Amino acid sequence: MSSKMKALVKEKCAPGATIKQVDIPKLGPHEVLVEVMATSICGTDLHIYNWNRWAASRIQPPVILGHEMSGNIVKVGSAVKSWHLGDYVSLECHFSCGICYQCRTGRANICRNCNILGVNLDGCFASYVRVPENNLWKNNSNLPPEIACLQDPIGNAVLATSSIEMRSNTVMVTGCGPIGLFTTGVCRVGGASKIYAVDYNEYRLQLARQMGAAYTINPLQLDPVREIWKDTGGEGVDAVMEMSGSEERLQDGLKAVKNGGIVSLLGIPKEKVSLDLADDVIFKGITLTGISGREIFNTWYITSALVSSLLDAGQVITHRLKLEEYEEAFSIMQSGKCGKIILYP
Amino acid sequence: MSSKMKALVKEKCAPGATIKQVDIPKLGPHEVLVEVMATSICGTDLHIYNWNRWAASRIQPPVILGHEMSGNIVKVGSAVKSWHLGDYVSLECHFSCGICYQCRTGRANICRNCNILGVNLDGCFASYVRVPENNLWKNNSNLPPEIACLQDPIGNAVLATSSIEMRSNTVMVTGCGPIGLFTTGVCRVGGASKIYAVDYNEYRLQLARQMGAAYTINPLQLDPVREIWKDTGGEGVDAVMEMSGSEERLQDGLKAVKNGGIVSLLGIPKEKVSLDLADDVIFKGITLTGISGREIFNTWYITSALVSSLLDAGQVITHRLKLEEYEEAFSIMQSGKCGKIILYP
Amino acid sequence: MSSKMKALVKEKCAPGATIKQVDIPKLGPHEVLVEVMATSICGTDLHIYNWNRWAASRIQPPVILGHEMSGNIVKVGSAVKSWHLGDYVSLECHFSCGICYQCRTGRANICRNCNILGVNLDGCFASYVRVPENNLWKNNSNLPPEIACLQDPIGNAVLATSSIEMRSNTVMVTGCGPIGLFTTGVCRVGGASKIYAVDYNEYRLQLARQMGAAYTINPLQLDPVREIWKDTGGEGVDAVMEMSGSEERLQDGLKAVKNGGIVSLLGIPKEKVSLDLADDVIFKGITLTGISGREIFNTWYITSALVSSLLDAGQVITHRLKLEEYEEAFSIMQSGKCGKIILYP
Amino acid sequence: MSSKMKALVKEKCAPGATIKQVDIPKLGPHEVLVEVMATSICGTDLHIYNWNRWAASRIQPPVILGHEMSGNIVKVGSAVKSWHLGDYVSLECHFSCGICYQCRTGRANICRNCNILGVNLDGCFASYVRVPENNLWKNNSNLPPEIACLQDPIGNAVLATSSIEMRSNTVMVTGCGPIGLFTTGVCRVGGASKIYAVDYNEYRLQLARQMGAAYTINPLQLDPVREIWKDTGGEGVDAVMEMSGSEERLQDGLKAVKNGGIVSLLGIPKEKVSLDLADDVIFKGITLTGISGREIFNTWYITSALVSSLLDAGQVITHRLKLEEYEEAFSIMQSGKCGKIILYP
Q: Does residue D1 surpass a pLDDT of 80?
A: no
One-letter amino acid for residue C52 of the chain: N
Q: What is the pLDDT of residue C259?
A: 98
Answer whether A110 sits within 8 Å of C285, measured CB to CB: yes
Average of per-residue pLDDT across A291-309 = 96
Answer whether A189 sits within 8 Å of B193, measured CB to CB: no
Distance CA D90, CA D140 (A): 10
Quick one: pLDDT band at residue A2, thresholds 50, 70, 90? confident
Contacts of A140 in chain B (CB under 8 A): none
pLDDT tens-digit readout, C70-122: 999 999 999 999 999 999 999 999 999 999 999 999 999 999 999 999 999 99
- Is there a catalytic annotation at residue C94? no
Long-range pairs of B50-54 with CB within 8 A, sequence gap ≥ 24: B50/B15, B50/B330, B50/B334, B51/B13, B51/B14, B51/B15, B51/B16, B53/B270
Distance CA B63, CA B118 (A): 7
Quick one: pLDDT band at residue B2, thresholds 50, 70, 90? confident
Q: Shortest Cα distance from A99 to chain D (angstroms)?
A: 8
| Catalytic option among D18, D30, D47, D303 | D47
Residue C77 bridge partners (DSSP): none
Q: What is the pLDDT of residue B167?
A: 84
* Torsion angles phi and psi, residue A70, rounded to 5: -140, 155
Contact between residue C83 and residue C71 where contact means Cβ atoms under 8 Å apart? no
Contacts of C84 in chain B (CB under 8 A): none
CB contact A98 to B (< 8 Å): no
Quick one: pLDDT band at residue C1, thresholds 50, 70, 90? low
DSSP secondary structure letter of residue A238: E
| Catalytic option among B18, B39, B44, B184 | B44
Report the residue of chain C nearest A283, measured CA to CA.
C292
Quick one: pLDDT band at residue D165, thresholds 50, 70, 90? confident
Report the residue of chain B nearest C299, measured CA to CA.
B105
Q: What is the pLDDT of residue C228?
A: 98
Answer whether B167 sits within 8 Å of A305, measured CB to CB: yes
User: Tell me, what's the ipTM?
Assistant: 0.98
Instruction: Say what percent of chain C tops pLDDT 90.
Output: 97
Alpha helices in A20-64 (DSSP H): 43-50, 53-58
Answer whether B305 sits within 8 Å of A167, measured CB to CB: yes
Lowest mean pLDDT among B213-217, C288-292, D1-5, D234-238: D1-5
CB contact C219 to A (< 8 Å): no
Helix or strand run (H / E) with residue B58? helix B53-58
Half-sphere exposure of D226 (CA within 13 A, CB side): 5
Q: What is the pLDDT of residue D2?
A: 81
Average pLDDT, chain D: 97
Average of per-residue pLDDT across D313-339 = 97
Average of per-residue pLDDT across B97-118 = 96
Average of per-residue pLDDT across B69-90 = 98
- Is there a catalytic annotation at residue D84? no
Distance CA D123, CA D8 (A): 9
Q: What is the pLDDT of residue B1?
A: 64
pLDDT tens-digit readout, B135-156: 999 999 999 999 999 999 999 9
Residue D324 bridge partners (DSSP): none
Q: Shortest Cα distance from A106 to chain D (angstroms)?
A: 5
Identify the sign of the CA torsion D85, D87, D93, D95: negative
Average of per-residue pLDDT across C10-24 = 97
Contacts of D245 in chain B (CB under 8 A): 278
CB contact D190 to C (< 8 Å): yes
A102, A269, A283 member nearest C278 (Cβ): A269
pLDDT tens-digit readout, B3-51: 999 999 999 999 999 999 999 999 999 999 999 999 999 999 999 999 9
Instruction: Say what percent of chain D tops pLDDT 70.
Output: 100
CB contact B172 to D (< 8 Å): no
Contact between residue B315 and residue B307 where contact means Cβ atoms under 8 Å apart? no
CB contact A193 to B (< 8 Å): yes
Which of D76-111 are b and which e, b meaning 16 or more Cβ less than 10 Å from the residue's Cβ? bbeebeebeeebbbbbbbbbbeebbbbbbbbbbbbb
Contact between residue D197 and residue D176 where contact means Cβ atoms under 8 Å apart? yes
Alpha helices in chain A (DSSP H): 43-50, 53-58, 101-104, 145-148, 151-160, 178-189, 202-211, 224-231, 247-256, 277, 298-308, 326-335
Distance CA B333, CA A62 (A): 74
CB contact A273 to D (< 8 Å): no
Quick one: pLDDT band at residue D313, thresholds 50, 70, 90? very high
Contacts of A104 in chain D (CB under 8 A): 296-298, 300-301
Average pLDDT, chain A: 97
Distance CA C60, CA B313 (A): 51
DSSP string, D181-217: HHHHHHHHHTT-SEEEEE-S-HHHHHHHHHHT-SEEE
D105, D134, D295 member nearest A301 (Cβ): D105
CB contacts < 8 A, A to D, total 35
Distance CA A78, CA D275 (A): 52
DSSP string, C160-177: HTTTS--TT-EEEEE--S
The rounded radius of gyration (Å) of the Cα atoms in chain C is 20
CA nearest neighbour of D22 among D1, D37, D6, D36 = D6
Q: What is the pLDDT of residue B165?
A: 85
Quick one: pLDDT band at residue D162, thresholds 50, 70, 90? very high
Contact between residue D71 and residue D86 where contact means Cβ atoms under 8 Å apart? no
Half-sphere exposure of C137 (CA within 13 A, CB side): 31
**The model's pTM:** 0.97
* Torsion angles phi and psi, residue C193, rounded to 5: -85, -30
Say which residues have a Cβ less than 8 Å from residue C233's Cβ, sequence separation at least 6: none
Distance CA B75, CA D252 (A): 48
Report the residue of chain A nearest B164, measured CA to CA.
A165
Contacts of C305 in chain D (CB under 8 A): 167-169, 193
Report the residue of chain A nearest B307, measured CA to CA.
A168
Distance CA C308, CA C141 (A): 10
Distance CA A12, CA A28 (A): 28
Answer whether C134 sits within 8 Å of B98, measured CB to CB: yes
